[in-house]
Structure 1
Amino acid sequence: MSSVRDYEAVRRDIVAQLKKPDYDDGSAGPVFVRLAWHSSGTYDLESDTGGSNGAGMRYEAEGGDPANAGLQHGRAFLEPIKEKHPWITYSDLWTLAGVVAIKEMGGPEIPWQGGRTDLVDDSKVPPRGRLPDGAQGADHLRFIFYRMGFNDQEIVALAGGHNLGRCHGDRSGFEGPWVTNPTRFSNSFFKLLLQLDWKPRKLATGMTQFVYEDPEAEEDEEPLMMLPTDMALKTDPSFAPWVQRYAEDKDLFFDHFAKVFAKLIELGIQRDAQGVITNTDNRLGGYVSAPKKSSTPTGPSKKGEPRARL
């Protein structure tokens, strides 16, 4: 084990952790992307709180948020890397894992800088309710993303992350993949959103999602699905033109996604001319790495909690 900050070695070890034959679609890539996104998406521009710096999901106050259901698996998959490289902070490890996963799954190269530090306690963990609810519509998306400092084009670009992964009924209440190949980054999400005939379906969980059932599909083949927030993208007059452009131009989407994801994982971080983070807010100063946690997935508390979000 080395104490030298060899981020390239960490990148290689993240790649080695991506293949998971017994997990969703055989890959940890999508859950790594969601982990990076959810650890960053708590940022509030007005109060300058939340964001990836701190890795607050290590504490029940944030990790137990129903919106983060399932992310315990992503965090546990990264624990062997933390054990091998104890110098790296969780906040750097989680964001780097998302960036590496996107690239390895065929997506764009996303700029990434290290230097995030881990909170020393849960006193700075942001309040719950800052992450998007897939059951809502366009107004909700703007409420959530404008709070972070994103505009309508950036909202649509970030939504393209739904090219990856799937929903789970026991986590978000929704069920199924968005695209036919949920471990390959592409602009298929936008193409399918526009091209297919989506029908509403109420699930046993009580949630309503939109599904497309291919009449030529095999009997045991699961249908594709879209969330209410996804459907809002193609009906809202400001979102819809960007859906169309990204469906038609993969390169444009990749370029815009790389920029907005890089912005997402840097929210709330201030750096000096040398790229060193100057607002660590950890009371100890310097690059503070939290000790390794358990490699066993521990999910959010269910007692007394509202339903989970995506």
Structure 2
Amino acid sequence: MSNPGDYDAVRRDIVAQLKKPDYDDGSAGPVFVRLAWHSAGTYDAKSDTGGSNGAGMRYEAEGGDPANAGLQHGRAFLEPVKEKNPWITYADLWTLAGAVAIEEMGGPKIPWLPGRTDLVDDSKVPPRGRLPDGAQGADHLRFIFNRMGFNDQEIVALAGGHNLGRCHSDRSGFEGPWVNNPTRFSNQFFKLLLRLQWTPKTLANGVRQFVYVDPDAEEGDEQLMMLPTDVALIEDPKMRVWVEKYAEDKDLFFEHFSNVFAKLVELGIRRDASGMVLNTDNVKGGYVSAPKKSNQATGPVQARL
């Protein structure tokens, strides 16, 4: 057991959970990043609701959202960390796990501050439908991300998270990895998006995505894929400018991604001059750490990304 406030110990315990030989591409890193992003991406600036503070995904109202299908695995992978550090809130654990995973997979260091509290019930869980639909276009991306307070440059930078992980037909409906090495953070997503020919393909489940048809591929080789929202980034002139910048300049992308991911996990959080979080939950104030949950993954079967 670590001492309360020993976030370095938590970081080490998160790193110890990254290697998963029997899961996806052998790493829990990408699902940790998606968990942090989805826990924060429900924020609505106008109503000041949602966001990473509260860890609402612990409740069926949010955790059972089809958009969060598959994240039960990421949450379960972090339960041993919660067991060793019972003082940490899930809201801090999930966001810190995303930041640690990005850095451990070769990405930039993500500025991260603690202090998020856990909801004591589901009364403040945001409504479903606030996360992006990968089947849509640029207008949809702006609608979703402008609601959180992001501009075009930040939207494209956040899309660079698709350098990690893969889609699953039994979760988002889409299938396949975006890049050749989905456990190594880079700017490859932007390079491939610009340089390869992306062909529309309708999967057996009726979902439409884009794939690269490699003329040198052998039977059984896995196709790289892009979502309609990814292709929209190069079809929209204002967004394409940033795709080209990030494809050309890895350091610029890393700098901008670090800034926007740090902004993402802070959405809706209010801090005083010393950095203490001012948000409290219901009748309870301060740092409310929810009790440990199950190590077994349970959650929605299918989602949209």
TM-score (norm 2): 0.99
Equivalent residues of 1:3, 1:86 under 8 A apart: no
Question: What is the aligned partner in structure 1 of residue 18 from structure 2?
Answer: 18
Does residue 262 of structure 2 align to residue 267 of structure 1? no
- Structure 2: give runs of 5+ residues left out of the alignment: none
Please list the CA deviations of residues 108-128 of structure 1 after superposition, one character each: whole Å capped at 9, or x if unmatched: 001000000000000000000
**Aligned pairs for 1:280-295 within 5 A:** 280-295=280-295
Question: What is the aligned partner in structure 2 of residue 127 from structure 1?
Answer: 127
SS in 2 for 1:15: helix
CA distance in 2, matches of 1:122, 1:260: 28
Question: What is the aligned partner in structure 2 of residue 113 from structure 1?
Answer: 113
Please list the CA deviations of residues 18-46 of structure 1 after superposition, one character each: whole Å capped at 9, or x if unmatched: 00000010000000000000000000000
Question: What is the aligned partner in structure 2 of residue 308 from structure 1?
Answer: 303
SS in 2 for 1:24: coil
Amino acid at match of 2:80: P
Equivalent residues of 2:120, 2:281 under 8 A apart: no
Does residue 145 of structure 2 align to residue 163 of structure 1? no
CA distance in 2, matches of 1:290, 1:11: 19
Question: What is the aligned partner in structure 1 of residue 93 from structure 2?
Answer: 93
CA distance in 1, matches of 2:213, 2:90: 40
SS in 2 for 1:200: strand
Q: CA deviation at 1:217?
A: 2.4
Question: What is the aligned partner in structure 1 of residue 175 from structure 2?
Answer: 175
Equivalent residues of 2:4, 2:88 under 8 A apart: no
Please list the CA deviations of residues 49-91 of structure 1 after superposition, one character each: whole Å capped at 9, or x if unmatched: 0000000000000000000000000000000000110000000
CA distance in 2, matches of 1:148, 1:254: 21
Q: Percent of pairs identical after alignment?
A: 81
SS in 1 for 2:277: coil
Amino acid at match of 1:4: P
Equivalent residues of 1:89, 1:117 under 8 A apart: yes
Equivalent residues of 2:211, 2:224 under 8 A apart: yes
Q: CA deviation at 1:221?
A: 1.4
Query: RMSD across aligned C-alpha pairs, in angstroms?
Result: 0.8
CA distance in 2, matches of 1:64, 1:47: 22
Does residue 204 of structure 2 align to residue 213 of structure 1? no
SS in 2 for 1:239: helix
Amino acid at match of 2:77: F
- Structure 1: give runs of 5+ residues left out of the alignment: none
CA distance in 2, matches of 1:137, 1:72: 27
SS in 1 for 2:25: helix
Equivalent residues of 1:30, 1:164 under 8 A apart: yes
Question: What is the aligned partner in structure 2 of residue 225 from structure 1?
Answer: 225
Q: CA deviation at 1:282?
A: 4.0
Amino acid at match of 1:309: R
CA distance in 1, matches of 2:243, 2:125: 34
TM-score (norm 1): 0.97
CA distance in 1, matches of 2:31, 2:59: 19
CA distance in 1, matches of 2:232, 2:91: 32
Q: CA deviation at 1:238?
A: 0.9
Amino acid at match of 2:193: L
Q: CA deviation at 1:283?
A: 2.3
Displaced runs of 4 or more, over 6 A: none
CA distance in 2, matches of 1:57, 1:76: 12
